[in-house]
Amino acid sequence: MRFSVPNIPPAILSNAAQRNVPNVSPSEAVQRISSFLSSGRAAVLTGAGVSVDSGVKAYRGKDGRYMNPDYKPIFYQELIEDSPRGHSFRQRYWLRAYIGFLPVRRTSPNPTHFALAALQLAGVVGPLITQNVDGLHHPALRRVLTEAEVDRHVLELHGSIFKVHCQHGHVYSRAVFQEWLGQANPRWHGFLAELERTGAQPKTNPDGDVVLDESVSYDDFVVPHCPGCNAEGRTDSIIKPDFVFFGESISQQVKDHSYRIIENADRLFVLGTTLATYSAFRLLKHALELRKPVLYLNVGPTRADGLPGVDKLEIPTSTVMTDVVQAVLGTRAHNDPKVRDLLFSGVVKPGVEAGHPSAR
């Protein structure tokens, strides 16, 4: 079976190029979004566009990694293949991911993450579904909620970069596995330590691997075995990140959970995503089938462009979301110390292009 990187259908991109999208001012956008959110409890669906201000590179849109026709990611079937070829794919993936985890670990939530956390704290929006594996919604919510409450408020549709697992069910933190990789590969551990000492930033993809020079050899990179499987006498253990690769399906449990979130909400608010992956696009379709209002905030073409029932605003999330919270919550935005703290929080990485078209 042949697999490819999901992207926006060419017909939609062609129509987008011919269509004049009306500009919307920040004040008008704030008014329309706040009116939408005040009219009923909303489910939220986010993509990598909300993390761009945190310094996370977008997948698609202008300069997006997946827009490069020469980009060749490792697919799920390649990563888990039980053969010398599969082992080579795992060496390549884990060396690049070992180096790439450093800048990912350094990222922090930006004002959009904190604005959404404030809306969740106030009960204006319900559970949030994110396609992002960067985990940035969690630390924003941890400011005001317990860890158990955070888990109930965020569904990671495509998994998390901060865990790994083997095919036999053993789960480990990514930080622990990072240590194992360093212990097994002292030369690369030294290279990574030098990067950390100098503050150098390798070119990193949103799911945590880096671009390395073509001269780099992966042949001597050691990928540790699963210790749980070793203790059980298994020799066929393969460890992978706890997120969905291209060619891999989300679990039925996650799919059902995402559908329930849509069904239990009055409306759907979509931010920072092209919805190129069907696992996310079908959630918007499900909301439309249930005749729920949909408001879509994104810059650039999306898979939902032209669909009846979708109200789209072409404006960056970072331009409006803090003001939206103030408009929706009114005096509580200033009088509630928890909300006020959230609204004054968040990084904006220098050099990040505001309004960068988004990703998944």
Residues annotated as catalytic are 158
Determine the 3-state secondary structure of 164 from DSSP.
strand
Cα–chain center distance at 69 = 21
Candidates 64, 93, 65, 106; CA nearest to 199 is 106
Distance CA 275, CA 214 (A): 32
Among 35, 44, 72, CA closest to 205? 72
Pairwise CA distance, residues 232 & 253, whole Å: 27
Which residue has 């073409």 as its token pair?
301
Question: Could you tell me what percentage of the chain is helix, strand and coil, using 3-state DSSP and rounding each to the nearest 5?
Answer: 45, 15, 40
Could you tell me the two tokens for 208?
């945590």
Those residues with Cβ within 8 angstroms of residue 268's Cβ, 6 or more apart along the chain or in another chain: 42, 43, 44, 45, 262, 283, 284, 287, 292, 293, 294, 295
3-state class of 79 per DSSP?
Answer: helix
